[in-house]
Amino acid sequence: MRIGIIAEDEKNLEVSQVIIRRKFPRYKMGADPINIQDTRKCKLSKPDHIKSHLDAMAPRHLDKVLIGFNSDSPHWQKKEEAVQKAVCQSGYRGLVKVCASVKEVEAWLLSDGQGMTNSLGIQCQGERNPEALNDAKGNFKDFANRADRTPDRTLYKEVAENLDIDLVSRRCPSLLRFLEKAEDC
């Protein structure tokens, strides 16, 4: 399965890629591994940006494109509708799934204390209800600072590599929905 991912920021792209690769090493138990062919950062409030990214992905003949965005706005459902509309207007002929993810992707990372501990080298307690945190991004940054690490793409990727995805899926309903969209064809 060849997929593309469009997300609002590079850290979300990094985490999404790692989780999808780890969760689906052999897509649906078949012989075809998931092969992420293209990733793009996109300002999703601009329909013409979505269209241009989908147009750029078209020659790759992808099986699916996932468009993920943070649901940190009180009007995230309207945002999702606008993204869906932009996809329809783009004329892209492949399968596109729009995924409203968590308010902050850091909630996914904070849910697995052992994964954080393994990445940061300091003791971290996993959040049982991380999506209810008011400032998951700030909490993640605090852990990174205590470990004398910079909360950059590299750290996000490293933590995502160490996550217990099944545990995170149980604690973060948004990750479970994201993975269902990734798997659904």
Length of the chain: 185
Two tokens, residue 52: 């241009």
Contact 116, 124 (CB under 8 A): yes
Residue 175: name the closest of 30, 63, 68 by CA.
Answer: 68
Q: Name all domains of the chain by residue range, CATH numbers in brackets.
A: 2-102+173-183 (3.40.980.10), 106-171 (no CATH)
C-alpha pair distances (Å), 68 with each of 57, 84, 96, 116, 117: 16, 11, 11, 23, 27
Contact 71, 39 (CB under 8 A): no
DSSP run (H or E) holding 80: helix 76-90
Looking at residue 84, its amino acid is Q
Q: Could you read off the pLDDT of 56-67 as tens digits, one per residue?
A: 888 878 888 888
Helices (H), strands (E): how many in the chain?
A: 9, 4
pLDDT, one tens digit for every residue, the chain (185 residues): 778 888 877 888 889 889 888 887 765 433 344 455 566 667 666 778 888 888 888 887 888 888 877 766 666 677 778 888 888 888 888 888 887 666 788 999 999 999 999 999 999 999 999 999 989 999 999 999 999 999 999 999 999 999 999 999 999 988 888 888 887 75
Q: Given this model, what pLDDT does residue 184 score?
A: 72
Q: Given this model, what pLDDT does residue 37 score?
A: 57
C-alpha pair distances (Å), 70 with each of 18, 52, 97, 111, 114: 17, 20, 15, 17, 25
Q: Given this model, what pLDDT does residue 78 score?
A: 78
Beta bridge partners of 109: none
Q: Given this model, what pLDDT does residue 31 score?
A: 38
